Amino acid sequence: MNRGEHADRGGTVDTGGSVGGAVSGGAGASRRRVGRVTTSVRPVEELVSGLEGGGWRVGVVSGGTSKREALDAVAAALAFPGYFGRNLDALWDCLTDLEQPTALVWAGWEPLAVFAPRDWAGIVSVLRARAGAGEEEPPFAAVFCVASGLGAVSIDTEAEPPTPSGPAA
């Protein structure tokens, strides 16, 4: 996969030079917006700028280590009404009430996926279902930001490995 291409359950999405291409059908496609769930290595600011430039309303979520925190963050990012019920049915209801093409850009989603995988799977399932809702609904997209490489990771190869604590077996 080349830089500028991102994994999606339907294959590969070529964003070309335009971030908006990730959700508008790619280079050379008509201006019809298409919803999808995808990943990107691009910085959040670049994604938001490209999506907004393509006519999308964008909400940004950062983090969330529990289902409740994640749902609260999505609700705040997309300006859900105060009666939002903080459950998956309410998430679906509010997503289907969106009146314009909307993208959710989510950075820092990994802790929820690792520490609460069932909750994560449920949220992603609702986001995917809404992204594929069809032409009767305004398009919806979710873009999960991922690390672009291991350059930010520092590994001290000279350090001694930790010693176990507690009683010996």
pLDDT at 147: 67
Q: Quick check: 162 pLDDT over 80?
A: no
pLDDT at 93: 96
In which domain, by residue range, is 119 found? Answer: 31-145
pLDDT at 35: 86
CATH value at residue 50? 3.30.370.10
Any domain includes 123: yes
What predicted TM-score, i.e. pTM, was given to this entire model? 0.72
pLDDT at 137: 83
pLDDT at 63: 87
The sign of the torsion formed by the CA atoms of 139, 3, 144, 107 equals: negative
Any domain includes 99: yes
pLDDT higher at 51 or 10: 51
Q: Quick check: 12 pLDDT over 70?
A: no
Q: Quick check: 86 pLDDT over 90?
A: yes
Query: Could you read off the pLDDT of 17-54 as tens digits, one per residue?
Result: 344 444 544 443 334 567 899 999 999 999 999 999 99
The interaxial angle of helices 117-131 and 67-77, nearest 10 deg, is 30
- Written as one string, the DSSP assignment of 29-92 is --S-----EEEE-S-HHHHHHHHHHTT-EEEEEE--SSHHHHHHHHHHHTT--TT--SSHHHHH
Any domain includes 111: yes
Q: pLDDT confidence of 153, banded at 50, 70, 90?
A: very low
Average pLDDT over residues 128-143: 91
The structural domain count of the chain equals 1
Any domain includes 9: no
